[in-house]
Amino acid sequence: MRRSTTPAHGAAPVHLGMPSFPRAAAEAVHDRTLRANLRHATHTIREKRAGAVAELDDWDRLREAGKRIKDHTLRHLDRYLEQLEEAVTGAGGAVHWAEDAAEANRIVTALVKQTGEREVVKVKSMATQEIGLNEALRAEGIAAYETDLAELIVQLGDDRPSHILVPAIHRNRGEIRDIFADRMGRWGRPAPEGLGDDPRELAEAARLHLREKFLRARVAVSGANFMVAETGTLVVVESEGNGRMCLTLPETLISVVGIEKTVPTWRDLEVFLQTLPRSSTAERMNPYTSMWTGTAAARARDGDGPRTFHLVLLDNGRTGVLADDVGRQALRCIRCSACLNVCPVYERAGGHAYGSVYPGPIGAILSPQLRGIGSDIDASLPYASSLCGACFEVCPVAIDIPEVLVHLRERVADRGGAGRRLEKAAVKAAGWLLDHPGALAAVERTASRTRALLPNRPPGAGAWTAERELPELPPEPFRDWWRKNRT
């Protein structure tokens, strides 16, 4: 496993020593098991999603509404965040503001320590992965247990997630069986004797293992899919019921949420609770949707839910993204992962090649914005796409991912640096030639005439010719044919 580290400016962790995307992807491409697992999983969910979306005749309008709600919220985010803070506080919660990963980790660690507990249960959350919370807690002697089935597989396997929704998508059931049988005992209740690789058996083993943790835990950590500014309500959308357990059983609940998860009103959920499940799991309705508003309900009627609730609002680069006219649309993302499931590059490269908790097309536009383009991996992510547009087509909040990719390529090209000098010179030379048709024709003619002399695999063309032939050059360019035959 690659270790994560938090850079000095406290943004999201970059996987230490993570190579550029092309290099990481090249390895994955040749991993047959991985390719087969990914192909099977993404194609299955891809088709199901298409079916679930096709059922709705107002899909385009829902998509447009989702886009507008998010754009409106982002434009007035300062106002809505204040409203949210007021509402959460009014309902008995405490709100903390974290500028970066380091600050968020410090806040959460301190809050857990105040309770005197040494362990927490977790609901799957991208934000806490983004800031490397589990590692930060471990450094302070606090164990964080993931309770989502796939996250459990990743955690037990000492692995990294490779998909937003299905973090263990790169594993097949044989591999999962082995991980459970080997590792569960080290973390708690061991897997039953003679565990097989039947999905039901595997789920039962996880259930037994996790139940013990749910019943013991006094502190839970979650993220949230949505935060409603007008009421201070947080919403977690999940499929296994583990979220419901974490959000109701422990006495203390700490939620770490990116500031862009805000929506203005309760009514806005109407749109996203339709588009999210259909886009992510191809379900008409989400199985477990938990909503809570501070601790008011728990206090008033001695009902369910935590007695203490903390909301940590995470910036970690987001206000910087907001300032970019083109790039900010990435903050509309509702993490449905539809873009991953249709992406031909993700399917071959796998999630790990993206060097971030956000893989696939959304990761390729989000990571370089949140973390900057300083590292090899972040500077290479905007190019990790053939710009085929499949992601944009399925995105339920209409993020024009190809547009943002090209925009970020400009940023990388502008920055220049050693690796770009040659490219820039080539673009400039080609640009000059293409702006001088006379010279262009001369070059085309020379190339055509000398084509017999050219080597089949000219030096420097290795990236093309390693697995492909170059096209044969014609006897003359089109413009010469035209001159001879039509003028």
Partner 1 sequence: MRVALFVTCVNDAVYPATGIATVELLERLGVTVDFPAGQTCCGQPAFNTGYRRETLPLVRRTLHAFQGYTHVVTPSGSCAAMVRRHYPELAGAAGAELATRTYELTEFLVDVLGVVDVGACFPHRVTYHPSCHGARLLGLGDRAHRLLTAVKGLELVELPGADECCGFGGTFAVKNPQVSTAMGRDKTASALATGAQVLCGADNSCLMHLGGLLRRQDAPLRTLHIAEILNSTEEKPRP
Q: Pick from 98, 345, 364, 373: which binds partner 1 (CB under 8 A)?
A: 345
- CA 111, distance to chain mean position in Å, is 27
User: For partner 1, which stretch binds (CB under 8 A), given 71-79, 269-277, 306-314, 390-398?
Assistant: 390-398
On the 0-12 / 13-18 / 19+ scale of CB atoms within 10 A, 190 is: middle
Residue 339 interacting entry, from partner 1, ligand SF4, none, C-beta within 5 to 8 Å by type = ligand SF4
Q: How far apart are CA 342 and CA 340, in angstroms?
A: 6
HSE-CB of 183 using CA atoms within 13 angstroms: 15
With binding defined as CB under 8 A, does residue 431 bind partner 1?
yes
Report the interface residues with ligand SF4, using CB under 6 A.
279, 333-339, 362, 394-397, 399
Which of residues 141, 423, 450, 458 is near partner 1 by CB under 8 A? 423
Q: Report the residue number, 238 or 444, with the smaller CB distance to ligand SF4.
A: 238
Look at phi and psi of residue 481 and say left if phi exceeds 0, alpha if psi is from -120 to 50, else beta: alpha
Q: Which of ligand SF4, partner 1, none does 418 bind, CB closer than 5 to 8 A by kind? A: none
Alpha-helical (H) ranges within 242-375 are: 242-248, 269-280, 296-301, 318-322, 338-342, 344-349, 360-371
Can residue 47 be called a binding residue for partner 1 (CB under 8 A)?
no
Among 78, 414, 446, 454, binds partner 1 (CB under 8 A): 414
22 binds, among ligand SF4, partner 1, none (CB under 5 to 8 A by kind): partner 1
Q: In what order do the strands lie in the sheet with 219-222?
A: 94-98, 308-314, 252-258, 219-222, 119-122, 143-146
Smallest gap from Cβ 41 to ligand SF4, in A, equals 16
Instruction: Determine which helix (DSSP H) or strand (DSSP E) holds 219, and give its type and residue range.
Output: strand 219-222
Instruction: Tell me the closest approach of the beta carbon of residue 420 to partner 1, in angstroms.
Output: 9
Choose between 194 and 471: whose C-beta lies nearer to partner 1. 471
382 binds, among ligand SF4, partner 1, none (CB under 5 to 8 A by kind): partner 1
Nearest CA among 281, 284, 310, 306 for reference residue 296: 306
Nearer to ligand SF4, 48 or 218 (CB): 48
Residue given tokens 């993020």 in the structure block: 399
Which tokens hold the place of 296? 């008011």
Nearer to ligand SF4, 285 or 300 (CB): 285
Q: Which listed residue (169, 385, 399, 404) binds partner 1 by CB under 8 A? A: 385
The C-alpha atoms of residue 134 and residue 122 are separated, in whole angstroms, by 9
Q: Can you tell me which of 410, 417, 442, 454 binds partner 1, judged by CB under 8 A?
A: 410
388 binds partner 1 (CB under 8 A): yes
Indicate the length of the chain as a whole number: 487
Q: With binding defined as CB under 8 A, does residue 401 bind partner 1?
A: no
Task: Indicate the pairing of strand 233-238 with strand 226-228.
Answer: antiparallel
Q: How many CB atoms lie within 10 A of CB 198?
A: 11
Nearest distance from C-beta of residue 76 to partner 1, angstroms? 26
Q: What pairs with residue 234 in β-bridges?
A: 227, 292
Is the CB of 305 or the CB of 382 nearer to partner 1? 382
**Binding partner of residue 413 among ligand SF4, partner 1, none, CB cut-off 5 to 8 Å per kind:** partner 1
Using the minimum distance from each CB to ligand SF4, give the nearer residue, 176 or 314.
314
Tell me whether strands 233-238 and 143-146 are parallel, antiparallel or unpaired.
unpaired
Residue closer to ligand SF4 by CB (options 88, 362) is 362
Are 225 and 239 a contacting pair, CB within 8 Å? no
17 binds, among ligand SF4, partner 1, none (CB under 5 to 8 A by kind): none
**CB of 232 or CB of 359, closer to partner 1:** 359
- Partner interacting with residue 110 (select from partner 1, ligand SF4, none; CB below 5-8 Å by kind): none
b/e sequence 425-453, b meaning 16+ C-beta within 10 Å = eeeeeeeeeeeeeeebbeebeeeeeeeee
Say whether residue 317 binds partner 1 (CB under 8 A): no
Residue 212 CA to residue 229 CA, distance in Å, equals 35
Using CB under 8 A, which of the segments 25-33, 175-183, 214-222, 276-284 binds partner 1?
Answer: 25-33
Does position 444 interact with partner 1 (CB under 8 A)? The reply is yes
Read off φ and ψ for residue 166, nearest 5 degrees.
-120, 75
Residues that bind partner 1 (CB under 8 A): 21-22, 25-26, 29-30, 35, 344-345, 348-349, 382-390, 392-393, 406, 408-414, 423-424, 427-428, 430-431, 434-435, 437, 440, 444, 447, 463-464, 466-471, 473-474, 476-479, 481-482, 486
